[in-house]
Amino acid sequence: MGVQRVMGVETEYGVAAPGDPTANPMWLSGQVVTAYARAKGLLTGRGAWDYADEAPLRDARGWELGRAWADPSQLTDIDDPTMANVVLTNGARFYVDHAHPEYSGPEVTTPRAVVAWDRAGDLVMQEAARLLNPDPARPTVALYKNNTDGKGASYGTHENYLMRRETPFHDIIRHLTPFFVARQVIAGAGRVGIGQDSRVAGYQLTQRADFFETEVGLETTLKRPILNTRDEPHASADLYRRLHVIIGDANQCDVANLLKVGTTSLVLALIEDRAMPGDLTVLNPVSTLHAISHDPTLRTLITLRDGRKLTALELLWIYHDACAAYLQERSGDPLGGDADTHEVMTLWADVLTRLGTDPMSCARELDWVAKLRLLQAYRDRDGLAWTEPRLAALDIQWSDIRPNKSVFAKLRAAGQVTELVSAAEAQAAVTTPPEDTRAWFRGQCLSRYAANVVSASWDSVIFEVPGQTSLQRIPMLEPLRGTRAQVGEVLERSPDVATLLRELIRSGD
């Protein structure tokens, strides 16, 4: 009813070998994951991930793409032994996806928790880089939380939202597409350069917008669609779908990150409960998406199919007010009946209001504004045109995850960014799983019985039990089972995996 739902964020980090542009990025990514896993005593490589339930070619519109027709990059369920793949004690997956190290955060239920476990991913990458760079003056690996190299390549930050299966997919497409066209004025991470290969000098709101070329589709690596139809729920398929959102940027500002997932979760609730305020279909969503991203003044108009012309802010106010009316009706409070929803609704209105009067007043909260303000200060001080390479360099280093190289980290250290999650909370999320989803069981199994975990996935853990010849697979098709409240005590009283399995059978979990 509020912002709560099972959700999570996955990020492919940029990876480079400073001074060696010929380094193989797959090998580099493998080094990143393996170095971290070894240091933490975690299992990597063949078999560590259980692919039994993966179906990356299943389409939410009701068909499955033939494997022969698929681009090799779409075949994400093939277990390549050279590709490191590990489950962390916080319930996340840390692995090599194509040519990037990827951190897929654990399933959580609140936007605040998304931010905490996303920040934990940055710390995992930071630690991996530290392990690989014993001499920071001569680094061998650098990692970046961005989504493009500015030369035509893009890599993703995906959001995942568990939804009721009964919600028709065409309703999701219809009501979410206009929202995604407008959402970037809050959630964009900012970018120097316009066009996939930055052929036009200038600044735009997002890293990703220029890489989106169609409205709806299954692809994620080419002809990217505003609405991705991958139907791979990692849960009971007759009860749930996992909405796989590929259009967002990687955020470093907590407020932007919180609002990105919090407002999206609320809009999904409107769609599920049929509380949308009529039809907001955008006439040309792809070209409008680009135009909105290219306009930091936020004045560009979006033309709706019914003839209305609205700015992105005006369109977002319609969604905001529909959410407020929905919450008023359900909980008696337009801000929602719980602290998490209240926080999202309050920040949402605050940011929309200030973006409407002076976008630069959101420099503490939104990535694209914080980055633009810094770039503008540089331009003013040194009289730089947008073609100046120092500005493009600053954009790249903005996202460097190494504290001694990160421009964003300098800004945060100077107290110029609003933090919702403390450094200590982010650090705790590196090793601790969220308590209120199955990620608790998964992460705890890795903390307590790592030697006996043969493999794991979002919806299973497979154990090798001493004295037994066959492997034991624990299915976890219900994302809200396996919480601390449900299995905490069983785990506490199971010193070994044989006891755990006996206890689970006895307790019926």
β strands within 441-482, DSSP E: 453-457, 460-463, 472-475
Work out whether 309 is an interface residue with other proteins (CB under 8 A).
yes
Question: What is the nearest approach in angstroms of other proteins to the Cβ of residue 327?
Answer: 10
* Phi, psi (degrees; rounded to nearest 5) at 262: -65, -45
Question: What is the nearest approach in angstroms of other proteins to the Cβ of residue 129?
Answer: 15
Stretch of residues binding other proteins (CB under 8 A), selected from 34-42, 161-169, 387-395, 422-430: 387-395
Closest CA to 455 of 145, 87, 153: 87
Strand order in the sheet with 93-97: 85-87, 93-97, 100-104, 7-12, 157-164, 240-245
What is d(CA 65, CA 180) in angstroms, rounded to the nearest whole number?
26
Work out whether 92 is an interface residue with other proteins (CB under 8 A).
no
Nearer to other proteins, 251 or 397 (CB): 397
Work out whether 336 is an interface residue with other proteins (CB under 8 A).
no
Instruction: List the one residue from 140, 167, 214, 221 that touches other proteins (CB under 8 A).
Output: 221
Closest CA to 313 of 303, 301, 305, 326: 301
Count of residues that bind other proteins according to CB under 8 A: 89
Tokens of 221: 């690596």
Instruction: List the one residue from 78, 239, 339, 393 that touches other proteins (CB under 8 A).
Output: 393
Catalytic option among 50, 97, 118, 249: 97
Q: Active-site residue 97, yes or no?
A: yes
Stretch of residues binding other proteins (CB under 8 A), selected from 97-105, 119-127, 162-170, 172-180: 97-105
For residues 278-297, which are near other proteins according to CB under 8 A? 287-288, 290-291, 294-297
Question: What is the nearest approach in angstroms of other proteins to the Cβ of residue 241?
Answer: 19
Instruction: List the one residue from 14, 106, 121, 248 that touches other proteins (CB under 8 A).
Output: 14
The helix (run of H) or strand (run of E) holding residue 327 is helix 312-331
Work out whether 397 is an interface residue with other proteins (CB under 8 A).
yes
Stretch of residues binding other proteins (CB under 8 A), selected from 78-86, 96-104, 110-118, 488-496: 96-104
Stretch of residues binding other proteins (CB under 8 A), selected from 117-125, 159-167, 411-419, 449-457: 411-419
* Phi, psi (degrees; rounded to nearest 5) at 101: -75, 135
What is d(CA 452, CA 446) in angstroms, rounded to the nearest whole number?
9
Nearer to other proteins, 12 or 343 (CB): 12
Closest CA to 14 of 29, 31, 24: 29
Check if the beta carbon of residue 308 is closer than 8 Å to that of residue 203: no
For residues 107-166, which are near other proteins according to CB under 8 A? 148-156, 158
DSSP class of residue 152 equals S
Check if the beta carbon of residue 178 is closer than 8 Å to that of residue 281: yes
Work out whether 23 is an interface residue with other proteins (CB under 8 A).
no
Catalytic residues: 97
